[in-house]
A and B are shown apart, each in its own frame.
Chain A
Amino acid sequence: MWNRFAPVLACCLTVVACLTGCDKSEPLSVSQHLDLGWEKLRVGNIDSSRLHFETAVTTASSNQERAKAKFALATSLSLPQITPDVERARKLLGEAIVLDADPGTETAPWAALLLARLGDLRDIDPDAVDILVNPDARDKYREVMTRWPSHPAAQEARAYLVTSLVAARTPDEATEAIRLVDEFVPVNQNSPWSATLLGLESRALRTLGRSEDRLATEIQSLELARKIDAVGTTEYAGNIWGIGIIAEFEVGDLAAARKYYNLLITEYPADQRVFNAEQALKRIDALEATLKQEIALENTAKETRP
């Protein structure tokens, strides 16, 4: 009896096992693969993110979808430190730019920006530890700015270009950086990048030794940041402390230094630098007393001069 039914039972079990093992769910759409891939990349699951992106590239049905998938795959191939394939990433980015070349495009500017970033991040010899930016990448940032001037990627490209120029610490490059900031900020006061660009300009002005302009720029950067950051997400203790320092040591504007040291004390009472700010206020008082004495002596000397 058993011998007769055993093969039948085995067959039934095999069929059941096969059926339960079958994936009965609907295949994922391209956008689902992309969402999952980005999610995996965000938490550092590189291999899994690449699998999703590879599938998205092969199953994409439109050029736009394919461009998105190629950009995503290029990101997961180029930025992680684990098993990067930068050359393939570059090829994919080039293809994404061609595929999504229509005006009003979404992906091509980001792909072009990532190509430029790879110039700074991947094209510098890892052993050349003192070289932080790659001048050859600058043209690529400029290309993003000129080809898609109204796209958000162009604003970000400008920020990276200015960074690259300021980091070079030469007067010519600092001057060029200042020009790039000054042509952007006055007409883009509401841009999330304006305050940052002014912060970079301040560093360029340091290279040029223009202390008073630097102080004004730092103050403008802080005010603009606080205006844009309506919900107050960012902490400004470092910026406020920095303005006090520039005012005191670089410009000699003791009134401004006092104002910002006091601002730090009142707005950020738990900041470690509050003690420094109190010491600075004492230091300024002492300096003013010395300067007053010097002025009084000079005045007396003038008056007694025949």
Chain B
Amino acid sequence: MMAIFRFLWNNAALILIAAAFAWAAGTVWTRAARSIEGENEIVLRVCHWQLETGYRDAINELGKDFSDDYFKRTGKRVTIIQDAIPETVYGQFVSTNLIGGTAPDLISVGLGLSNVIWREYLNRYFVPLTSDINRPNPFNVGTKLEGVPFKQTFVDGGRSSYNEELQNYMTVPTSVHAIRLFYNVDLLEKLTGLRTPPKEWNAFLAMSEKIGSQKKADGTQYTPLASSKYHFGVWASTVADPLTWTLLKKADFNRDGYVSSEETFAAIKSGRLKFDDPAIRARYAIITQLTPSFPEGWTGKQRDEAVFLFAQQRAVFIPTGTWDARSLQQQAIDADGKQIFEVGIIDFPSPTSTDPVYGPFALGPKYDRPLPWGGFGITRTCKHPDVAFEFLQYISSLKGNEKFNEIVGWIPVVEGAAIPESLRSFKPTLRGMYGNFAPFVGGETSVRFEQLSDVFIAGRISFDEMVKQYTPAYLTMGEKDYTLAKRDWKRGSLGSEQFLVTMRESLKTVPAERQREMLWRYASLTARRQLFPTVDRAYQVKLIADSGKGSGEGSVQLPAPYELSAAARSRAKENLRKSLAFESK
């Protein structure tokens, strides 16, 4: 007995290593055994970083449904094996397996690696889905999406699946995220008598003031809006920035629908736009009204501290995304599973068009950029890419996507799919205003802008003082920033050329039947990365040069981007006259 004990004691380290090895080998062996396909079985390995049970349940449930459907059609079963990898090691896991040729069949793309690396991986290790995604989804037969090309069944028209550099559709998304305002329904009712907060801005402010004026039993004040430096960005982009949509009319010189930092620079230099423009003033005015409802010292708080404040029922509202919905709801339940408070969700409050201050800039709701999630790509090592794609079609069919997202508690990515009741208010608003305020040109102007913004937000200077200090700094530093930006652009065009030449070389190995399609992609990419940008930059250089010519003799007045030229107006009138004459005949 003593001898055995001595042996174990002396070889403890070795035994421990052997046991760990045996456990690891056993795990690998059982997984490998599960991956071995039976005669009438197809195995698909799916890799993602969602460790929540809901997500894995959803994949399993849809996998079972798909298998039943596939069995009816082919007599074969499909087994789905999930690799749910923690976020911290996701990038390494994917890299190792892709490079080692042992990658799962379906990989959720986007986490853990830089965009450049993902692009290279997509290019090298994934199957392009372009031709398949342009065909209707067979699982939508009998629904209102029957016959609609697969990519157009997504709320974003398939934009998130598309990779501009590769000129290919590479992934299929499963869900959409949006950012909304969460609130403690019970606390709101206790403090204001309301169970649903008002959507109109001024009414919302009045409600916030009422909340902020009340104290807890321990004497501490209630915080209307849980916030931190991170949350301020969310508030600014959702409540304040859309008010600057009208800047388009003053600074979108190339009329592409967006105001770039260079266009703002030209507009400010030429005097067509000033930093105290009413739309910019409105943006800051709304921020000034918002921040008193934040907790004291919010600029120094971390994101988690704001969440903590909400969970402790010291704050009523907190802005966040669908991805946090479940965890916030869990925070509202105690250890015994008893509901402590009810969590409500609303869209952000906004001023109406009749608002005396913000009305001229509140022309519509804010635009919600859909944030598609969980885009799966099919790896080149997949033995059954057609079945893998069918599985993705199944998950992202109208009915499949409804069921999938009902289980996981997220918003469906398929247009017209029913959204779970609790997430109705998350439905993205695709028609609305978006921010057009691009206040800095590059690094130096950005630093100065942030410094002054912080001082303004802290209430130490007024808006007018901020503008007075920033404008001359912007004009001086902006010149330097703009020169650097142009230099960077030139360097970037060398990189683009390298990418394009190597892409052209790779076309030589493309099968003859795909040559035409690939040549189109190459030409199209060359146009977007080298040809049009060169010409458009040349116009921009002229625009900035003209903007500096000032007033007086020989000066160049920059045209207002959204005003009809005299010739266009008279032509429109002439056309109308003709059509009216034709109608009267």
Contact = CB atoms under 8 A, between A and B. Distances in A.
B553 interface: no
Interface stretch (B105-113, B298-306, B325-333, B426-434): B426-434
Given A121-B497, A167-B538, A270-B159, A156 B526 contact: yes
B178 to A, nearest CB: 13
B563 A200 contact: no
B527 A199 contact: yes
Contacts, number: 198
Given A79-B497, A199-B527, A233-B130, A275 B433 contact: yes
A233 B535 contact: no
B501 interface: yes
Interface string B99-124: 00000000000000000000010000
Interface in A196-255: 196, 199-200, 203, 211, 225, 228-235, 238, 241-242, 245, 248-255
B520 A132 contact: no
B134 A232 contact: yes
Contact of B506 (A42, A241, A291): A42
27 contacts: A42-B503, A79-B494, A130-B486, A132-B541, A159-B523, A159-B531, A160-B530, A164-B534, A166-B538, A168-B538, A211-B567, A228-B520, A231-B517, A233-B167, A233-B520, A249-B562, A249-B564, A252-B570, A252-B573, A252-B575, A270-B155, A270-B157, A271-B157, A272-B257, A272-B434, A287-B564, A292-B576
Contact of B490 (A80, A114, A129, A274): A129
Q: Which 9 A-B pairs have the closest CB atoms?
A: A252-B568, A252-B571, A252-B572, A192-B523, A129-B486, A167-B538, A42-B502, A196-B527, A79-B498
B248 interface: yes
Interface string A15-40: 00000000000000000000000100
A42 B497 CA distance: 11
Given A242-B256, A278-B431, 17 more contacts: A38-B506, A132-B538, A163-B531, A192-B519, A192-B522, A196-B523, A199-B532, A203-B535, A233-B130, A233-B168, A233-B517, A233-B524, A249-B562, A252-B570, A272-B434, A275-B433, A295-B580
B577 interface: yes
A147 B483 CA distance: 39
Interface string B146-186: 00010100011101001000011100000000000000000
B312 interface: no
Interface string A114-150: 1001000100101001101100000000000000000
B364 interface: yes
Contact of A229 (B505, B520, B575, B580): B520
A169 interface: yes
A192 B524 contact: yes
Interface in B82-111: none
A249 B565 contact: yes
Given A168-B538, A270-B157, A38 B576 contact: no
A269 B532 CA distance: 25
A10 interface: no
B430 A274 contact: yes
A43 B501 contact: no
Of B490, B522, B568, chain A has the most CB atoms within 10 Å of the CB of B568
B144 interface: no
A211 B256 contact: no
Contacts of A229: 520, 524
A252 B567 contact: yes
Given A75-B501, A169-B539, A81 B527 contact: no
Nearest to B135: A231
Given A41-B502, A42-B502, A270-B156, A132 B534 contact: yes
B131 interface: yes
Nearest to B255: A245
Contacts of B120: 42-43
B344 interface: no
A252 B534 contact: no
A249 B520 contact: no
A288 interface: yes
B487 interface: yes
B541 A130 contact: yes
Contacts of A130: 486, 541, 545
B257 A252 contact: no
Interface centre among B370, B494, B520, B530, by most A CB within 10 Å? Answer: B520
B495 A241 contact: no
Interface residues of A, number: 74
A294 interface: yes
Given A126-B490, A252-B568, A272-B367, A231 B432 contact: no
A279 B363 CA distance: 9
B34 interface: no
B537 interface: yes
Contacts of B79: none
A58 interface: no
Contacts of B64: none
A114 B522 CA distance: 16
B383 interface: no
Interface string A282-306: 0000011001101100000000000
A151 interface: no
B256 A250 contact: no
Interface string A259-285: 000000000111111111011000000
B523 A250 contact: no
Given A130-B486, A233-B521, A275-B367, A291 B431 contact: no
Contact of A81 (B491, B523, B570, B573): B491
B432 A275 contact: yes
B460 interface: no
A267 to B, nearest CB: 8
Given A79-B494, A251-B568, A270-B370, A295 B534 contact: no
Given A129-B490, A169-B538, A270 B506 contact: no
A121 B248 contact: no
Contacts of A200: 531-532, 535
B215 interface: no
A80 B491 CA distance: 9
Contact of A255 (B256, B495, B575): B575
A56 to B, nearest CB: 13
Interface in B396-442: 430-434
B468 interface: no
Contacts of A192: 516, 519-520, 522-524
A228 B524 CA distance: 11
A294 B572 CA distance: 12
Nearest to A204: B535
A80 B498 contact: yes
B195 interface: no
Nearest to A84: B494
Contacts of A230: 517
Contacts of B504: 110
Contacts of B522: 192
A265 to B, nearest CB: 9
A192 B156 CA distance: 27
B569 interface: yes
A169 B542 contact: yes
B50 interface: no
Q: Which of B134, B149, B431, B571 has the most CB of A within 10 A?
A: B431
Given A229-B524, A288-B576, A250 B565 contact: yes
